[in-house]
A = this chain, B = another copy of it.
Amino acid sequence: MSEDRPGPAGGEAGGPQFDFLLQEPLSRARGGDSLQKQLLRRLRAAVLDGRLPAGSRLPGSRALAESLGVSRNTVTLVYDVLSTEGYIEPSKQGTRIAALARPEPENRAHPAPVALARRTERISGRDSGGADSLLFTPGVPALGHFPLAAWRRSLDRVLQQGGTELLGYGPPRGEPALRTAILRHLALARGMRCNPEQIVLTNGAQEALSLCVRLVADPGDTAWVEDPGYGGAQTALACGDLTVVPVPVDADGLRTSASDWEDRPPRLVCTTPAHQYPTGAVLTASRRLDLIEKCRLHGAWIVEDDYDGEFRHSGEPLACVQGLAPGAPVFYVGTFSKTLFPSLRLGFLVLPEPLADRAAPVVDELLRGGHRHEQLALAHFMESGQYGRHLARMRRLYRRRRDALRTALAEHFDVPHTVTGGDSGMHLAVRLPPDVPDQALARAARRHGMGPRPLSRHSLLPDAAHNGLVLGYGNTPESAFTPGLRQLARLARELD
Q: Which residues of A304-362 are within 8 A (CB) of B?
A: 314-316, 318-319, 324-327, 329, 337, 341-345, 354-355, 358-359, 361-362
Known: A36-B315, A156-B152. A299 touches B115 (CB 8 A): yes
Say if the beta carbon of A203 comes within 8 Å of chain B.
yes
Say if the beta carbon of A235 comes within 8 Å of chain B.
yes
Taken together as a complex, chains A and B put the C-alpha atoms of A207 and B299 apart, in Å, by 30
Contact between A289 and B358 (Cβ–Cβ < 8 Å)?
A: no
Contact between A170 and B343 (Cβ–Cβ < 8 Å)?
A: yes
Residues of B within 8 A of A109 (CB): 296, 327, 354
Contact with B along A155-175 (1 / 0, CB 8 A): 110011000111111101000
The stretch from A280-288, A405-413, A431-439, A487-495 touching chain B is A280-288
Contact between B117 and A316 (Cβ–Cβ < 8 Å)?
A: no
Q: Which residue of B lies closest to A160 (CB)?
A: B152
Distance from A458 Cβ to chain B, minimum over Cβ atoms (Å): 14
Contact between A282 and B85 (Cβ–Cβ < 8 Å)?
A: yes
Contact between B36 and A299 (Cβ–Cβ < 8 Å)?
A: no
Taken together as a complex, chains A and B put the C-alpha atoms of A370 and B314 apart, in Å, by 31
Contact with B along A118-130 (1 / 0, CB 8 A): 1110011111110
Say if the beta carbon of A44 comes within 8 Å of chain B.
yes
Distance from A170 Cβ to chain B, minimum over Cβ atoms (Å): 6
Say if the beta carbon of A226 comes within 8 Å of chain B.
no
Contact between A315 and B214 (Cβ–Cβ < 8 Å)?
A: no
Say if the beta carbon of A279 comes within 8 Å of chain B.
no
Say if the beta carbon of A396 comes within 8 Å of chain B.
no
Known: A239-B214, A342-B168, A343-B373. A289 touches B148 (CB 8 A): no
Which of B114, B219, B337, B341 is in CB contact (< 8 Å) with A241? B219
Taken together as a complex, chains A and B put the C-alpha atoms of A196 and B178 apart, in Å, by 35
Contact between A159 and B155 (Cβ–Cβ < 8 Å)?
A: yes
Q: Which residue of B lies closest to A364 (CB)?
A: B129
The stretch from A11-19, A61-69, A73-81, A462-470 touching chain B is A73-81
Q: How many residues does chain A have at the interface if contact means C-beta atoms less than 8 Å apart?
A: 128
Taken together as a complex, chains A and B put the C-alpha atoms of A203 and B292 apart, in Å, by 34
Contact with B along A294-308 (1 / 0, CB 8 A): 001111000000000
Residues of B within 8 A of A169 (CB): 129, 132, 140, 337, 342-343
The stretch from A22-30, A94-102, A478-486 touching chain B is A94-102
Taken together as a complex, chains A and B put the C-alpha atoms of A325 and B368 apart, in Å, by 33
Say if the beta carbon of A418 comes within 8 Å of chain B.
no
Q: Which residues of A101-147 are within 8 A (CB) of B?
A: 101-103, 107-120, 123-129, 132-133, 140, 143-144, 146
Contact with B along A16-55 (1 / 0, CB 8 A): 0000000000000000011011001100100110000000
Say if the beta carbon of A227 comes within 8 Å of chain B.
no
Residues of B within 8 A of A342 (CB): 167-170, 368-370
Q: How many copies of this kind of chain does the complex include?
A: 2
Say if the beta carbon of A90 comes within 8 Å of chain B.
no
Distance from A459 Cβ to chain B, minimum over Cβ atoms (Å): 17
Known: A167-B342, A170-B132, A282-B84. A103 touches B292 (CB 8 A): yes
Taken together as a complex, chains A and B put the C-alpha atoms of A120 and B354 apart, in Å, by 16
Residues of B within 8 A of A216 (CB): 115-117
Say if the beta carbon of A86 comes within 8 Å of chain B.
yes
Residues of B within 8 A of A123 (CB): 362, 365-366
Q: Which residue of B lies closest to A130 (CB)?
A: B169
Which of B282, B293, B369 is in CB contact (< 8 Å) with A343? B369
Distance from A440 Cβ to chain B, minimum over Cβ atoms (Å): 20
Contact between A365 and B164 (Cβ–Cβ < 8 Å)?
A: no
**5 interchain pairs, CB-CB under 8 A:** A81-B314, A101-B287, A132-B170, A168-B475, A342-B369
| Interfacial residues, chain A to chain B (CB-CB below 8 A) | 33-34, 36-37, 40-41, 44, 47-48, 77-78, 80-81, 84-87, 98-103, 107-120, 123-129, 132-133, 140, 143-144, 146, 148, 151-152, 155-156, 159-160, 164-170, 172, 188, 191, 203-204, 206-207, 214-219, 235, 239, 241, 252, 282, 284-287, 289-290, 292-293, 296-299, 314-316, 318-319, 324-327, 329, 337, 341-345, 354-355, 358-359, 361-362, 364-373, 423, 475
> Beyond the given A143-B164, A342-B368, could you list 6 further A-B residue pairs with CB under 8 A, ordered by the A residue number?
A86-B282, A100-B286, A111-B296, A124-B358, A206-B367, A342-B369
